Structure 1
Amino acid sequence: MKWVTFISFLFLASLAASKHLPRRYRHAGHQDTIAQATEVTPDEFRGIALVISSQALQQATYEEVSKVKNDIVELQKKCAADEKSDPECTKPLGTVFLDEICHEQEIIAKYGFADCCAKVDPERKDCILAHKNGTQGFIPPFQKPSAEEGCKAFEADPDQTMGRYVYEIARRYPFSKTSSIFAGARKYKEVLTTCCKEADKDACFAEKATEVSKYLRKEFARQKQICSVHRKLGEVPLQALKVALISQKFPKADFPTVLKLSADIVHAYTECCKGDTLECLLDRADVSKYVCSHQATLSSKVHDCCEKSLLEQGDCIAHSENDDKPADLSPTVREFIDNKEVCQHYADNHTLHQAKFVHEYGRRHPELSPELLVRLGKGYGDLLEKCCALENVVECLGHGEAELKKHISDTLEVVKKNCELHATAGDYLFQNELLVRYTKKAPQLTFDQLYEYTKGLTKAAAKCCHEDEAHKLPCAEKYVSFVLGEICREHEIHHINKQVCKCCGDSLTFRRECFSGLGPDPEYEPTPFASDLFTFHPDLCTADPEVLKRKKQKQLVDLIKHKPTITDEQLAGVIVDFQGMMTQCCEVADHKTCFETEGPKLIERTRTAFGES
């Protein structure tokens, strides 16, 4: 679908005169300046300056970055007091940040920015952004202080401690949103405030600081996934999903507004993905301001978000509940089915008509996932291609409507079956089932990778299967899409196989269906049998239960990699045989001798069952 085409068309045709257009659509002379940076508090502006400087000067020391940050803050104070006090006061904010970096001659010479600073914008800006490196390990791993040392530093100078924390995070994630780093810093400050009062500081930090790290890793992973999709598939799939999601979140919003917001949000993604995190921040702030100034026509659910600081509004709005459907909204979208004129609308602009369908269907069905809505939009387009070539258009569309409804019911049935399996099997056996499936699909992945991905899918089932019917499907598709996105990011770095490549590269919204349809990799050469492939140690009888579970899962994966075409019956037989050996050997005093005797017998029986002996 040519989403870029219709969004551009709609902006030119319908929104060009809007006084509410974001900054990039306004007159070129109207831009954010440092003198206007009063919409955030002084502390927030200092934080922004620190984040942007740390992300640009990744290899610089904290002291060097602080020098740049302090100069920017002082300039902002000066310009706020008198906009005519310095020529920098009326320059675009992004230009001022680059000017301040390039004024530091020693720093730019030391870290290789001299050539960039000799250029003029936009070449200067592009050059500096091109230096950003988000590769893991580019900045050495952070050496965490002990709990005691961290608390002493925090008590002595809270601002310095938090500043260093923000600096260390920002320089390692130069493409990440400022708001995510701020959110992580707020959470970490709460950890310091709480844990430094505890007698057992180490235990407190081990629990609470780990949660902050998990939060940040997931946030950054999600942002990297967006950039991966943007890099490989462009803005199209991201805009399509946003149209669906915003239609559900703001069902009162009219179609042009939904398109406007979706384009604005994806444009912010584009800026962050190319490393222009300041422009990304400003774009997101514009979206927040627009939403908060149009609450009456958009949503009654964002009031509390709009009471927060500008830096917190965006993420809060993104996670806000869907607004209630308008009372006068018709229950169905018959105008897209019972109307011959739809063919003319479709002929006039294919993608615009499909987008209207997604919008109208989405605002009526918050219980469906955005991914499913986009798939329905694609199905509706295919239906029009078929029916509009026939004489009995309405009759054909009526039959086709049943196909769209079947796709919805099929999707819900997949979720239902997986939830039933999870309810019956529990987390451990459910994950084992997923390990079998995904080892067959992608045997090139290591056990640790397969374990983490299937653990993520198991957590999705544990969380989403307990949701009510209004939230179950959106929850499931969201979390499953995240895990599949992580697999695709891994594939982008290290090629997995051709069938995974196809699923990752063809369609974002059909990705889950594609992965579900994969069988054993046809080009995979199974791991040859070796005597040490399956080893049975006495610690199988004495290991911690969780450790033992993982050991068994490792052997399960090794077995599938050796025999990816194994049938369910063969696998069940091997598992029963293995459990029997475990019971037998763990009941005798000499575990070691028993395993040495019975282990080879088990292997031989297994190979015979596989037709290998």
Structure 2
Amino acid sequence: MKLLKLTGFIFFLFFLTESLTLPTQPRDIENFNSTQKFIEDNIEYITIIAFAQYVQEATFEEMEKLVKDMVEYKDRCMADKTLPECSKLPNNVLQEKICAMEGLPQKHNFSHCCSKVDAQRRLCFFYNKKSDVGFLPPFPTLDPEEKCQAYESNRESLLNHFLYEVARRNPFVFAPTLLTVAVHFEEVAKSCCEEQNKVNCLQTRSKVMNHICSKQDSISSKIKECCEKKIPERGQCIINSNKDDRPKDLSLREGKFTDSENVCQERDADPDTFFAKFTFEYSRRHPDLSIPELLRIVQIYKDLLRNCCNTENPPGCYRYAEDKFNETTEKSLKMVQQECKHFQNLGKDGLKYHYLIRLTKIAPQLSTEELVSLGEKMVTAFTTCCTLSEEFACVDNLADLVFGELCGVNENRTINPAVDHCCKTNFAFRRPCFESLKADKTYVPPPFSQDLFTFHADMCQSQNEELQRKTDRFLVNLVKLKHELTDEELQSLFTNFANVVDKCCKAESPEVCFNEESPKIGN
């Protein structure tokens, strides 16, 4: 089995998204071929992820049967793409095959989804996912020797088990993100199993946590409860624990990096160690800063020294480093404050519509579902963070993860040149790069279709969540169609849509009302 080659590793499995999102309307078809190729190359892994996320209670053996069936389907279609079954969207095929597994829908209580078709069935499977996975057994663990024996004897089986267990516990994580985790898992297994001391290698991302807990009194006052947990849960708990307060006797700046006459010589002697020490000292003095902001500071310091150490008077040049650090932090802080002000002024729904417009303008080539999902995640970041005392670090960390996921998609299929540029820029400056992007000028909107502005009485019967999803999809498709309009003009059209829905759902005959009012929305 060929594992997808992805660079980098997305560390936290945080946000909500539907896996295996594929184009469902003509305006999303532009990336269809590249998406198809991605699926064909990774059909086994994608099937594992999708099945484990849709039917979390399913056994590994049940999953293996579906994988075999999907591989056979792929082989048939690769041999003859004219077969009627090969014209279907892969996600529809997958769900049809899940529903066709004898007794499975009844056994795992999703037969109500199997009575639906196409988009309605996809939504049903999506809403059937359970974020609270307390019903699943603890994550299975092997000791290092057993893990390496399993890897050496049957690499595919070990990776499949790992992906299955991770996916069913993270039902809303985007498939490429989980594939990245699998790549990282394999890299660690392959590297450590070749070491003479396998145990030591595999128990190191464990030794660190044990060391932290053995020194918890001097390291942090906020990890006591984490250190009382078992090893599998301990690491994640420590990672997610609140930041410790800065020691009262620790100055805000470490003079040896800006005041010493020998900074350039120390850097040249051992650059990696020198910048690692700088990162450590600056980070512990500024626990209020986000990870991306700290990385920006490090990069600014590197660039500053590269220039200063080539001048006649290096100390006189890098003496003003703190001013540069404060300048970039102030810039990042203002950006977050402005975003949180947006949240306070617009409210949760208003902010979501703002980001749906913005994300669709910078990446209109994405499918409607992908854009809706990214917009939801961005709003989750602000609703989670903008009321916290650590507002800046929280927003900067979580919003950067949304752009990280966007770049994960871009790595598999290039979205457009501007997005590609931001994704390839220095990680620390990725978010500022995205924030500065304007509407993609290379995008050619799809032909006008009145279908987008045609609504029916069933709009009024939609439940709150379903109605919200339809509303979000309408806004994204509106932006794709009328890409040249300003944000204000798009908001006006969207307001017209909301008013029509409100008016017609209160009318005596909603269908008649929609027939009369819907055509006016796009004018």
> Is 1:415–1:473's contact at 8 Å kept on the other side of the alignment?
yes
Distance in 2 of aligned mates of 1:459 and 1:346? 41
Question: 561, 564, 572: which one pairs with 2:480?
Answer: 561
Larger radius of gyration: 1
Amino acid at match of 1:271: V
- Residue matched to 1:412: 333
Distance in 1 of aligned mates of 2:156 and 2:370? 23
Distance in 2 of aligned mates of 1:366 and 1:398? 23
| Cα shift readout 1:501-526 (whole Å, capped 9, x = no counterpart) | 33333333322222222222232211
RMSD of aligned residue pairs (Cα, Å): 4.2
Query: SS of the residue aligned with 1:520?
Result: coil
Query: SS of the residue aligned with 1:523?
Result: coil
> Is 2:221–2:244's contact at 8 Å kept on the other side of the alignment?
yes
> Is 2:279–2:298's contact at 8 Å kept on the other side of the alignment?
yes
- Residue matched to 2:442: 523
Q: Which runs of 5 or more residues in structure 1 are unaligned?
A: 1-58, 65-135, 149-160, 185-211, 231-267, 606-613
Residue 404 of structure 1, CA deviation:
2.0
- Residue matched to 1:332: 253
Amino acid at match of 2:188: E
Segment of structure 1 superposing worse, 419-428 or 534-543: 534-543
Distance in 1 of aligned mates of 2:164 and 2:222? 22
- Residue matched to 2:431: 512
| Cα shift readout 1:248-294 (whole Å, capped 9, x = no counterpart) | xxxxxxxxxxxxxxxxxxxx894058797986753343333333444
Matched, 1:317 2:238: yes
Cα 1:463–1:601 shift into 2, 3 Å: closer
Distance in 2 of aligned mates of 1:274 and 1:454? 38
- Residue matched to 1:476: 395
Query: SS of the residue aligned with 2:428?
Result: coil
Question: 188, 196, 221: which one pairs with 1:271?
Answer: 188
Query: SS of the residue aligned with 1:362?
Result: helix
Query: SS of the residue aligned with 1:283?
Result: coil
> Is 1:175–1:275's contact at 8 Å kept on the other side of the alignment?
no
Matched, 1:493 2:417: no
Distance in 2 of aligned mates of 1:415 and 1:376? 17
Percent identity over the alignment? Answer: 32
Question: 300, 308, 315: which one pairs with 2:229?
Answer: 308
Distance in 2 of aligned mates of 1:330 and 1:177? 49
Residue 420 of structure 1, CA deviation:
1.4
Cα 1:274–1:428 shift into 2, 3 Å: farther
Cα 1:390–1:430 shift into 2, 3 Å: same
Q: Which has the higher contact order (CA 8 A, sep 6+)?
A: 2
Residue 572 of structure 1, CA deviation:
3.4
Question: 444, 455, 458: which one pairs with 2:365?
Answer: 444
- Residue matched to 2:14: none
Distance in 2 of aligned mates of 1:532 and 1:431? 24
Residue 307 of structure 1, CA deviation:
3.7
Residue 364 of structure 1, CA deviation:
0.6
Q: Which runs of 5 or more residues in structure 2 are unaligned?
A: 1-58, 65-92, 110-134, 142-149
Distance in 2 of aligned mates of 1:453 and 1:275? 36
Note the 1:88-237 alignment, pairs <5 A: 143=104, 146=107, 174-175=158-159, 215=170, 218=173, 224-225=179-180
Query: SS of the residue aligned with 1:432?
Result: helix
| Cα shift readout 1:9-39 (whole Å, capped 9, x = no counterpart) | xxxxxxxxxxxxxxxxxxxxxxxxxxxxxxx
Question: 455, 462, 467: which one pairs with 2:388?
Answer: 467
Segment of structure 1 superposing worse, 563-572 or 581-590: 581-590
Cα 1:177–1:402 shift into 2, 3 Å: farther
Query: SS of the residue aligned with 2:440?
Result: coil
Distance in 1 of aligned mates of 2:161 and 2:265? 43
- Residue matched to 1:532: 451
- Residue matched to 2:265: 344
Distance in 2 of aligned mates of 1:349 and 1:600? 68
Distance in 2 of aligned mates of 1:176 and 1:322? 36
Cα 1:223–1:408 shift into 2, 3 Å: farther
Cα 1:226–1:347 shift into 2, 3 Å: farther
Amino acid at match of 1:526: P
- Residue matched to 2:494: 575
> Is 1:444–1:496's contact at 8 Å kept on the other side of the alignment?
yes
Amino acid at match of 1:524: Y
- Residue matched to 1:356: 277
Distance in 2 of aligned mates of 1:60 and 1:582? 45
Normalised by the size of structure 2, how large is the TM-score?
0.63
Distance in 2 of aligned mates of 1:372 and 1:421? 21
| Cα shift readout 1:98-141 (whole Å, capped 9, x = no counterpart) | xxxxxxxxxxxxxxxxxxxxxxxxxxxxxxxxxxxxxx98xx96
Residue 462 of structure 1, CA deviation:
0.8
Matched, 1:384 2:305: yes
- Residue matched to 1:599: 518
Amino acid at match of 1:366: P
- Residue matched to 1:68: none
Residue 333 of structure 1, CA deviation:
2.2
Distance in 2 of aligned mates of 1:512 and 1:321? 23
Distance in 2 of aligned mates of 1:303 and 1:594? 62
Cα 1:292–1:541 shift into 2, 3 Å: closer
Query: SS of the residue aligned with 2:364?
Result: coil
Cα 1:294–1:177 shift into 2, 3 Å: farther
Distance in 2 of aligned mates of 1:219 and 1:320? 25
Query: SS of the residue aligned with 1:510?
Result: helix
Distance in 1 of aligned mates of 2:474 and 2:408? 26
Segment of structure 1 superposing worse, 539-548 or 438-447: 539-548
- Residue matched to 2:88: none
Cα 1:541–1:318 shift into 2, 3 Å: closer
> Is 1:444–1:497's contact at 8 Å kept on the other side of the alignment?
yes
Cα 1:490–1:431 shift into 2, 3 Å: same
> Is 1:175–1:273's contact at 8 Å kept on the other side of the alignment?
no
Amino acid at match of 2:301: Y
Segment of structure 1 superposing worse, 298-307 or 480-489: 298-307
Distance in 1 of aligned mates of 2:466 and 2:498? 16
Cα 1:586–1:226 shift into 2, 3 Å: closer
Residue 527 of structure 1, CA deviation:
1.2
Query: SS of the residue aligned with 2:450?
Result: coil
> Is 2:410–2:420's contact at 8 Å kept on the other side of the alignment?
yes
Give the number of equivalent residue pairs: 390
Query: SS of the residue aligned with 1:532?
Result: helix
| Cα shift readout 1:493-550 (whole Å, capped 9, x = no counterpart) | 3442333233333333322222222222232211111232321223444543443333
> Is 2:453–2:519's contact at 8 Å kept on the other side of the alignment?
no
Distance in 1 of aligned mates of 2:468 and 2:441? 29
Cα 1:590–1:172 shift into 2, 3 Å: farther
Distance in 1 of aligned mates of 2:499 and 2:137? 58
Amino acid at match of 2:494: I
